[in-house]
């Protein structure tokens, strides 16, 4: 369900009629332009989508005589439409407002062109209807790479993020990260409004990152491109030293690159996160330092083997 108030506010729409509806039953991220329906073609009618009326549809309605127009609109609005959006700041016919009010269908007006409104509405619905999950962690933008720092409480996630902000990177969320899947393989995280831009540092308390470091130190939302799990160094555990094996973790059905970062005194964790972000960018461009070293070693072994056979 989509809130009528939120939908109207976020898309900068104006209500043209009064209804008792506070929510719209929208479950898809597309819109429908009812040109074919106005021509009495209902074989395939996506009535469950927001209905967008542009200049073409409005011009056609204006060519009809009042009785014909009323008949066309009555049949059209006999379906349970979630809402009707009139673009270009156009004023809809009186019959449309009367029938829509009787059917409890919100009629909304947009000053935008039809294409622009369609794009913004689709983007909004993609975000609102996307699967969501909340995770404990810190999300930072490092060289354009969205890094989600996870780990048990007190391991030092916020301190690493603070050091990264001091080095010119951006904080997205501290402690609580709201994650949504905006496409089949793309995750976006952001911070809840109540705690946005705030960070907790043990021994100091709550600090406001934006107030201390400026608006350039924070970002409202960020894609999640990799997960770095911070844990206290375990001498009995064998940590990856080559990087040949690429691990992933599953978040909302999306496989995200995953690395474990052991924490102990003396390690410069902020620099390690920076290196991990740069290394991921190189891998996405097709270059892997670990695989290049492995290739060179294999070539050297093959060369020495060939010399031994002679």
Which residues participate in catalysis according to the annotation? 136, 157, 175, 241
Tokens linked to 130: 């996307």
Residue with tokens 């290196």: 275
Instruction: Give me the phi and psi of 18, to 5 degrees please.
Output: -105, 130
Tokens linked to 221: 């939302």
Nearest to 220 by CA among 178, 182, 186, 163: 178
Are 1 and 125 in contact by the 8 Å Cβ rule? The answer is no
What is the DSSP track for the chain? -EEHHHHHHHTT-EE-S--S--EE----S--B-THHHHTT--SS--TTSPEEE-HHHHHHHHHS-HHHHHHHHHHHTTS--S-EEE-TTPPPPHHHHHHHHHTT--EEE-SS-HHHHHHHHHHHHHHHHS-EEEEEEEEEEETTEEEEEE-STTSSHHHHHHHHHHTT-EEEEEEEEEEEEEETTEEEEE--GGGTTEEEETTTEEEEHHHHH-GGGB-SEEE--EEEEEEE--TTS---SS--S-EEEEETTEEEEEEEEEE-TT--HHHHHHHHHHHHHHHHTT--HHHHHHHHHHHHHHHHHHHHH-
């Amino acid at each position: 369900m989509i809130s009528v108030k939120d939908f109207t506010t976020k898309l900068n729409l104006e209500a043209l009629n009064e209804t008792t509806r506070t929510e719209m039953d929208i479950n898809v991220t597309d819109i429908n332009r009812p040109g074919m329906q106005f021509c009495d073609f209902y074989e395939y009618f996506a009535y469950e989508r927001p209905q967008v009326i542009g200049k073409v549809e409005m011009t056609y309605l204006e060519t009809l005589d009042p009785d014909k127009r009323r008949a066309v609109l009555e049949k059209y609005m006999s379906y349970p439409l979630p809402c009707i959006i009139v673009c270009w700041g156009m004023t809809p016919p009186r019959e449309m407002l009367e029938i829509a009010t009787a059917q409890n269908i919100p009629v909304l007006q947009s000053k935008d062109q039809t294409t622009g409104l369609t794009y913004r509405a689709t983007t909004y619905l993609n975000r609102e209807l996307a699967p969501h999950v909340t995770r404990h962690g810190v999300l930072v933008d490092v060289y354009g790479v969205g890094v989600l720092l996870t780990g048990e409480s007190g391991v030092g996630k916020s301190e690493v993020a603070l050091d990264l902000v001091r080095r010119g990177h951006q904080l997205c969320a501290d402690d609580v990260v709201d994650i949504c899947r905006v496409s089949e393989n793309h995750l976006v995280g952001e911070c809840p409004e109540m705690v946005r831009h705030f960070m907790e540092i043990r021994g100091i308390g709550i600090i406001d990152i934006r107030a201390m470091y400026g608006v350039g130190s924070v970002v409202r939302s960020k894609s999640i491109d990799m997960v770095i799990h911070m844990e206290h160094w375990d001498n009995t555990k064998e940590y990856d030293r080559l990087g040949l094996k690429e691990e992933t973790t599953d978040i909302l059905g999306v496989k995200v690159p995953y690395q474990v970062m052991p924490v102990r005194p003396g390690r410069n964790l902020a620099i390690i996160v920076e290196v991990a972000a740069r290394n991921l960018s190189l891998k996405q461009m097709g270059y892997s330092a670990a695989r290049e070293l492995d290739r060179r070693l294999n070539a050297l072994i093959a060369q020495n083997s060939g010399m031994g056979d002679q």
